[in-house]
Amino acid sequence: MSRRWILFAVLVCAIAAIFYRPLAALIGSSISVDQYSHVLLVVPMSVALLYLERERFVDVASYCVPAAGMLMLLAAVHLVLGRYRGLLSSNDSLALSILLFVACCLAAFVFCFGPRAFRAARFPLLFLFLMVPFPDGLLARSISMLQNGSAEAAALLFKLANVPFTRDGVVLLLPRATIEIATECSGIRSSLVLFITSLVLGHLFLKAGWTKAALAIAVVPLTIAKNGLRIFVLSMLGMYADPSFLSGGLHRKGGILFFALAFGCLLLMIRALQRFERHSGASSASHPSLVVSR
């Protein structure tokens, strides 16, 4: 097994060298661009899960020579397509390159450990596809959905608080302020981080496929509700306490507080789904249990 791991590590390093430019661009973007910031979480989580679950596939490991041919084919496709990257936007070109990079890494794993090992370790391996940036069209639609959803959630809270307002798309006209939910306020970054977290926690603490899917899907309304609450709180503070709340530190850096609230709700959802699994007979004694303190 040590030889297999060494061979796999050498192949991954060689693949990374071939894809050096798009990987460097992705890492640079993850530091400065919101929709890429989750990328830095994907690889460490995938490696950690692969290590924790290694006993599931080491006993069935075998070499798969055809996968080596697939690996070389994918690398060749990347090199050939490099001549035509100008036909795509920079983001779409990066997304295609990273997609091919992940596919090459998976082919290298199948070559070193075999298809049975791949099936046993499919979650941490397929998890790597979360590295792939959203194409421009999908990214624009996702941000627009979050903006409009956040506006709807905030509008509902203003109605419940009896605050008069007028809504024009993603702009809320309030008595003492005008709030526009800009692209950077859509919550795309926290949505992606919560989605990744829900996948990992669901994999570790839930057993049924539908409960894992339900947890991941719940991230969308949870993020929208969190954004709406943040807009409502900042707007109320700005109108009735101090206008600086609309542009001060709480606006720029206070997102972590609302993210923590959403994360707490995510843990409560996991606990509730675990109870439902036990009552429906879907869980087993060997499955770990998430304890949420009260």
Residue 24 shares a structural domain with residue 99: yes
Average pLDDT on 275-282 reads 79
Which tokens in the block code for residue 141? 């639609």
**Domain end among 106, 131, 156:** 131
Residue 172 shares a structural domain with residue 224: yes
- 289 within a domain of the structure (yes/no): no
- 253 within a domain of the structure (yes/no): yes
Residue 86 shares a structural domain with residue 18: yes
- 288 within a domain of the structure (yes/no): no
Q: What is the DSSP letter of 161?
A: T
Identify which of 49-53, 255-259, 285-289 has the greatest average pLDDT: 49-53
pLDDT digits (tens, 9 = 90+) for 29-53: 887 776 777 888 899 999 999 988 8
Residue 143 shares a structural domain with residue 126: no
- 293 within a domain of the structure (yes/no): no
The boundaries of the domain holding residue 44 are 2-131
Residue 44 shares a structural domain with residue 177: no
Q: Tell me which residue has tokens 């070559």.
A: 111
**Domain end among 88, 110, 131:** 131
Residue 42 shares a structural domain with residue 110: yes
- 151 within a domain of the structure (yes/no): yes
Residue 23 shares a structural domain with residue 91: yes
Total of domains in the chain: 2
**Domain end among 84, 105, 131:** 131
Residue 143 shares a structural domain with residue 266: yes
CA pair distance 272, 119, nearest whole angstrom = 29
Please state the φ and ψ torsions of residue 188, each to the nearest 5 degrees: -65, -35
Residue 192 shares a structural domain with residue 88: no
Residue 26 shares a structural domain with residue 55: yes
Confidence tier at 1 by pLDDT (50, 70, 90): low
Residue 102 shares a structural domain with residue 226: no
Residue 147 shares a structural domain with residue 102: no
- 290 within a domain of the structure (yes/no): no
- 221 within a domain of the structure (yes/no): yes
Give 35-91 as a DSSP string.
Answer: GGTTHHHHHHHHHHHHHHTGGGTGGG----HHHHHHHHHHHHHHHHHGGGGGGS-HH
More confident site: 87 or 167? 167
- 61 within a domain of the structure (yes/no): yes
pLDDT digits (tens, 9 = 90+) for 85-119: 677 888 888 999 999 999 999 999 999 999 999 99
Q: Please, are residues 227 and 216 in contact by the beta-carbon 8 Å criterion?
A: no
Q: Which residues pair with 179 in a beta bridge?
A: 172
Phi-psi region of 284 (alpha: psi -120 to 50; beta: other; left: phi over 0): beta
What pLDDT does residue 294 have?
38
Q: Tell me which residue has tokens 């009552």.
A: 279
**What is the model's pTM?**
0.84
| Of the candidates 10, 2, 119, 14, the residue with the CA atom closest to the CA atom of residue 64 | 119
| Of the candidates 135, 149, 19, 152, the residue with the CA atom closest to the CA atom of residue 81 | 19
